[in-house]
Amino acid sequence: MVEASAEPSTSGSAIEALALLAVKGRAPTTGYAREEFGQAWADVDRNGCDTRNDILRRDLSATTIKEGTHGCLVLSGTLADPYSATSIAFVRGETTSTAVQIDHVVALSDAWQKGAQALTLERRTALANDPLNLLAVDGPLNAQKGAGDAATWLPPNKAFRCQYVARQVAVKLTYDLWVTSAERDAIERILTGCPGEPLPVGGAPTVTTTATATPAPTSAQEPTPSPDPAPASSAPTTPVYYANCTAARAAGAAPLHLGEPGYRTRLDGDKDGIACE
């Protein structure tokens, strides 16, 4: 499982921590690319499982795990979605996996414009894979949010908004990011209504759902069993990135297995843990 982030430099309430964040304007997006935050869903804790599956295992209940993946690859489960307060059935598959997505609570593009440009690649990779900054959520709502901050987007589930902005404050404090004045004001308005909201230091949110589970798609097929992923190395490695499968094959690295350097879910069309087959 992904390790929790280091505790922010303060404790207590989120509204007190908000006052510690610098307030500045947005920097340009010049130079921003997902790759500036390291390999997507890197195995930063060296547990042999990518971050996406770590978070699915953390946030979903009643999960089924693919055999031969060392307890890693989530095939199905149920999400108590914090953004909509509904229950969503997750079934891994090329057309079904997107029903549940992993949201960066502080979007990476937003982070880039508010201080992350000055961080090292190692630190940005930590930010992109930190459980404190990650939630399994409703896919369409995640797409709707995009790179929005608290001034432009909030979860429809109003009961979760205090936890949501408190988590953003904690992430920005941990990684020395700033807020815009509009963002600070939006966060402050929410936290004023829940002044005792604690500053989170990791772990899963508390969610109460009000709807029954969305039926699982019947057309999804269980992926074909694949070989076990290569054992994770205990030695530090330089992040490996292949723009596409052609590049991976040219480097002699294909096929790429889940947990290996260079593996990305975007290269794994059937989501079976083997990319560029």
Q: Does the structure show a pLDDT above 90 at 99?
A: yes
What pLDDT shows up at residue 276? 79
**For strand 274-275 and strand 256-257, is the pairing parallel, antiparallel, or unpaired?**
antiparallel
pLDDT-based confidence at residue 216 (cuts at 50, 70, 90): very low
- Is the backbone of residue 34 left (phi > 0), alpha (psi -120 to 50) or beta? alpha
Checking if the pLDDT of 201 tops 90, the result is no
| pLDDT of residue 114 exceeding 80 | yes
* 67-to-221, 223, 271 alpha-carbon distances in Å: 15, 11, 14
CA distance 4 to 15: 22
Residue carrying structure tokens 């009000």:
210
Q: Has residue 29 got a pLDDT over 90? A: yes
Lowest mean pLDDT among 40-49, 61-70, 106-115, 217-226: 217-226
Closest alpha carbon to 14 in 135, 192, 156, 146: 192
Predicted confidence (pLDDT) at residue 209 exceeds the cutoff of 70: no
Distance CA 77, CA 74 (A): 8
pLDDT tens-digit series, residues 147-195: 999 999 999 999 999 999 999 999 999 999 999 999 999 999 999 999 9
For residue 269, what pLDDT is reported?
A: 72
Residues in Cβ contact with 19 at an 8 Å cutoff, skipping those fewer than 6 apart? none
pLDDT at 264 over 90: no
The Cβ of residue 226 has, within 10 Å, a number of other Cβ atoms equal to: 18
Mean pLDDT, residues 35-44 = 93
Cis peptide before 255 (omega within 30 of 0): yes
Please name the helix (run of DSSP H) or strand (run of DSSP E) that holds residue 53, with its range, or none: helix 51-59
**Average pLDDT of the chain, as a whole number:** 84
Confidence of residue 206 (pLDDT cuts 50, 70, 90): low
Higher pLDDT, 261 or 267: 267
Asked whether 114 and 172 are in contact (CB, 8 A), the reply is yes
pLDDT digits over 233-257, tens only?
Answer: 333 334 566 667 777 777 767 777 6
- Residue 268 is predicted with a pLDDT of 72
pLDDT at 270: 65
| Residue labelled with tokens 């990650």 | 134
